A and B are shown apart, each in its own frame.
Chain A
Amino acid sequence: MPTLIRCENGAFAAAEDPFTRVADDQELPQGDVIISLQRFLNDGERLIGQHRAVGVVLKSSEEVAALSIDLAKVAVVALDFPAFRDGRAYTQARLLRERYGFEGEVRAVGDVLREQVGFMLRCGFDAFEPADGASCEDLAMAARRQRHVYQRAADGRRPAFAEREA
């Protein structure tokens, strides 16, 4: 099981993961689950009715819009990095946060490396399954690297132009 690290109010902490990732050809276990978009669209209503938390994992090729009407019922959206070079999940995360106002957990899964965590935070991710064994301290250091940022994003950090106005 990969470690789950959550970031809350700027603090990174290892967390128990209550969710089970379930592949499309696997039987559903009891408890909280993260399932594919396809399975969610077919079966999501029923599962949510069973009084458990349901999360959805999106492939980088899938559109956030497909999930938009059901987002209020979803506990976690996990966005997959099939390789760290595949940057589509950054856009998916920003759309979830900024366009669809998603307030649940946005989790980075797949090829998640400490060097990219700063960008992920800025795009609205708040949970990480590091693939490189990075610790909470590693992620915290990566997130602190740049004292300034130049652009608005999903994290509410004040960009340079706003700092200058103050």
Chain B
Amino acid sequence: MYRYDDIDREFLADRSAEFRDQVNRRLAGELTEDQFKPLRLMNGLYLQLHAYMLRIAIPYGSMDSRQLRKLAWIARKYDKGYGHFTTRTNLQFHWIKLADTPDILDHLASVDMHAIQTSGNCIRNTTADPYAGATPEEVDDPRVWSEAIRQWSSLHPEFSYLPRKFKIAITAAPKDRTAARVHDIGLAIKRNRKGDLGFEVMVGGGLGATPHVGPTIREFLPAEQLLSYLEAILRVYNRLGRRDNRTKARIKILVASLGAEEFGRQVEAEWAAIGAGSDLPAGEMARIRAAFATKTFETLPERSESFEVAKSADPAFARFVRNNVKAHRAPGYAIVEISLKAIGETPGDASADQMEVIADLGERYGQDDIRVTHEQNIVLPHVKLDDLPAVHAALAKAGLATPNINLISDIIACPGLDYCALANARAIPVAQHIAERFANQDRAELIGELKIKISGCINACGHHHVGHIGILGVDKKGEEFYQLTLGGSGAEDASVGKVLGPALPANRVAEAIDAMVDVYLSQRQTGERFLDTLRRTGPAPFKEAVYADAH
């Protein structure tokens, strides 16, 4: 966790006071809804189908138990006792009253949290590897750089009215858990041959109606020059990005129309003109690094006897370990993923009680460090192997031990027509049907890694373009239909899925997926994931299986 200082706290207090004044002016009728809208959006407050929705920033998905407990408390006091974790690693409350929002923001500020720039055409919350500081593959801690970006981008005077919203991701390991290549800017931390730290810079990725995998415009940017380079990219975009058509305003359209080479050339020219004056002094980077509470790991043996005994004794625990527990850089420790995809529940939802259970476990067993993943799950990054049986038992008691990370029922879904004014179709019930169809855990494990992502409309908040199987809700004469795409990936092997065929009615989606899974199981070669088999065979056998009875 980054520890706030007085400056960071005063910054939030000032912002919160400003919003209280704006809400009061709105409630007194001094501001019209038209005038108020851009002000509330800059503070994460949306007007949805049923009520206001407040989107709270969880910067780079990182929080501590005190903060998660506060979110649980807010859920109980001001909402219906639960919250929804999003693909931007934020938390949304869907049943908020306008008059309560200034108090909520003050409560958030009391634990160093905010809702700044969770909406609007500005720089949004940065996505970082949820295994930061824990995975053995890591080149450098991405949270340090993400926090530098958070501060630099907060109330940025030049970049708060961009052509469109702007999202940055930082991956710090060869395995990309951030979907960096489908962000407006993706940064991959690297070392060059001399051992210097730097970033590969990818620009112009994105989903929505026109998905793009972002091209690399710089193979190696010296790390200490990150902010000046970001300023150059944002400045070129702010000047040249389209403002005449909202659907063509994202940076991906500018990069695609200029070409990556020409866009890169303009960025380099702007960067040269900016010079080093916009970079953070080395002392400030060191301060931010030090403000992350350092974790001290005990010297433990590689192997924990009590852990091994528990695995042999309890098949449910063994299954949880196989799917939800990942290797840690320190011997005797592990990374634990907590699935928010319990079969039949809403993907990404957590009740206030569950948040408190996770906060308690994080505090007691996890060095008070808690992460949110862009796949809408929670991570305890530092748990001792010795403690895993106790953690698992507590999770199971709270309905949080679903052993399905990266499996077919670990589905990303947007809120869809149940909540969102933009959606054409529901997404949550489709996710629930699929999860129920594959509720057999042996079968789910046999199928292995298979990423299903569901969006209720073309805005693609559910990332369907980068699902191994993507599902897009469409409206056909007032009825909900679902278009399947195949072969997408948001990881280091990023690609955009291709439409399989005509859209299906809701009641045929789960069986179509079942049919494709059967094709995969019959055709796969050793070690192949669903995506690998599909890439080898092409979509034909899958298409045949789904549409066979239509012939």
**Per-residue contact bits, chain A 63-99, to B (CB 8 Å; 1 contact, 0 not):** 1000000000000000000001111101100100001
Q: Is B15 an interface residue (CB 8 A)?
A: yes
A99-B273, A119-B155, A163-B7 given; 5 more Cβ-contact pairs under 8 Å: A91-B239, A123-B157, A145-B14, A151-B152, A160-B11
A146-B14, A147-B14, A149-B155 known; A87 vs B7 contact (CB < 8 Å)? no
Q: Is B29 an interface residue (CB 8 A)?
A: no
Chain B, range 264-295, C-beta contacts under 8 Å to A? 273, 277-278, 280-281, 283-284, 287
- The smallest C-beta distance from B88 to any residue of chain A, in angstroms, reads 21
Chain A, range 99-139, C-beta contacts under 8 Å to B? 99, 115-116, 118-120, 122-123
Is the pair A161, B281 in contact by a Cβ cutoff of 8 Å? yes
- A84: chain B residues at CB < 8 Å are 38, 161
Is the pair A119, B160 in contact by a Cβ cutoff of 8 Å? yes
- The smallest C-beta distance from A160 to any residue of chain B, in angstroms, reads 5
Sorted nearest first, the 3 A-B pairs with minimum C-beta distance are A87-B161, A122-B157, A161-B284
- The smallest C-beta distance from B153 to any residue of chain A, in angstroms, reads 8
Q: Is A150 an interface residue (CB 8 A)?
A: yes
Best-buried of A123, A146, A153 by chain B (most CB within 10 Å): A146
Q: Is A148 an interface residue (CB 8 A)?
A: yes
- The smallest C-beta distance from B467 to any residue of chain A, in angstroms, reads 33
Is the pair A90, B158 in contact by a Cβ cutoff of 8 Å? yes
- B220: chain A residues at CB < 8 Å are none
- A99: chain B residues at CB < 8 Å are 273
- The smallest C-beta distance from A154 to any residue of chain B, in angstroms, reads 8
Q: Is B156 an interface residue (CB 8 A)?
A: yes
A contacts, CB < 8 Å to B: 63, 84-88, 90-91, 94, 99, 115-116, 118-120, 122-123, 145-153, 160-161, 163-165
- The smallest C-beta distance from B29 to any residue of chain A, in angstroms, reads 16
Is the pair B161, A85 in contact by a Cβ cutoff of 8 Å? yes
Q: Is B238 an interface residue (CB 8 A)?
A: yes
- A147: chain B residues at CB < 8 Å are 10-11, 14
Interface size on B, as a range, is 35 or more
Distance of A152 Cα from B484 Cα, bound (Å): 47
Is the pair A150, B39 in contact by a Cβ cutoff of 8 Å? no
- A153: chain B residues at CB < 8 Å are 157-158
Chain B, range 138-173, C-beta contacts under 8 Å to A? 151-152, 154-162
Is the pair B11, A85 in contact by a Cβ cutoff of 8 Å? no
Main secondary structure of the interface of B (DSSP, over half): helix
Q: Nearest residue in A to B283 (C-beta to C-beta)?
A: A165
Is the pair A146, B11 in contact by a Cβ cutoff of 8 Å? yes
Is the pair B152, A86 in contact by a Cβ cutoff of 8 Å? no
Is the pair A85, B38 in contact by a Cβ cutoff of 8 Å? yes
- The smallest C-beta distance from B238 to any residue of chain A, in angstroms, reads 5
A87-B162, A148-B11 known; A164 vs B5 contact (CB < 8 Å)? yes
Task: Kindly identify which residue among A63, A86, A148 contacts B243, using a CB–CB cutoff of 8 Å.
Answer: A86
Q: Is B518 an interface residue (CB 8 A)?
A: no
Q: Is B235 an interface residue (CB 8 A)?
A: yes
Is the pair A146, B15 in contact by a Cβ cutoff of 8 Å? yes
Is the pair A94, B158 in contact by a Cβ cutoff of 8 Å? yes
Q: Provide 7 A-B residue pairs closer than 8 Å at the C-beta atoms, listed in order of the A residue.
A: A119-B155, A148-B10, A151-B151, A151-B157, A152-B277, A160-B8, A165-B284
Distance of A153 Cα from B159 Cα, bound (Å): 11
A150-B11, A151-B156, A164-B7 known; A86 vs B151 contact (CB < 8 Å)? no
Is the pair A87, B159 in contact by a Cβ cutoff of 8 Å? yes
Q: Is B304 an interface residue (CB 8 A)?
A: no
Distance of A63 Cα from B240 Cα, bound (Å): 10
A119-B157, A122-B157, A146-B14 known; A90 vs B243 contact (CB < 8 Å)? no
Q: Nearest residue in B to A155 (C-beta to C-beta)?
A: B157
- The smallest C-beta distance from A100 to any residue of chain B, in angstroms, reads 11
Best-buried of A115, A118, A120 by chain B (most CB within 10 Å): A115
Best-buried of B15, B121, B152, B239 by chain A (most CB within 10 Å): B239
- A91: chain B residues at CB < 8 Å are 158, 235, 238-239
- B157: chain A residues at CB < 8 Å are 90, 118-120, 122-123, 149, 151, 153
Is the pair B238, A150 in contact by a Cβ cutoff of 8 Å? no
Is the pair A164, B159 in contact by a Cβ cutoff of 8 Å? no
- The smallest C-beta distance from B393 to any residue of chain A, in angstroms, reads 44
Is the pair A160, B238 in contact by a Cβ cutoff of 8 Å? no
Chain B, range 37-85, C-beta contacts under 8 Å to A? 38-39
- The smallest C-beta distance from A111 to any residue of chain B, in angstroms, reads 11
Q: Is B511 an interface residue (CB 8 A)?
A: no
Q: Nearest residue in B to A99 (C-beta to C-beta)?
A: B273
Distance of A94 Cα from B284 Cα, bound (Å): 24
**Per-residue contact bits, chain B 227-254, to A (CB 8 Å; 1 contact, 0 not):** 0000000010011000100000000000
- The smallest C-beta distance from B185 to any residue of chain A, in angstroms, reads 17
Q: Is B18 an interface residue (CB 8 A)?
A: yes
A123-B157, A164-B287 known; A150 vs B239 contact (CB < 8 Å)? no
- The smallest C-beta distance from B110 to any residue of chain A, in angstroms, reads 18
- A87: chain B residues at CB < 8 Å are 121, 158-162, 238
Chain B, range 1-47, C-beta contacts under 8 Å to A? 5, 7-8, 10-11, 14-15, 17-18, 38-39
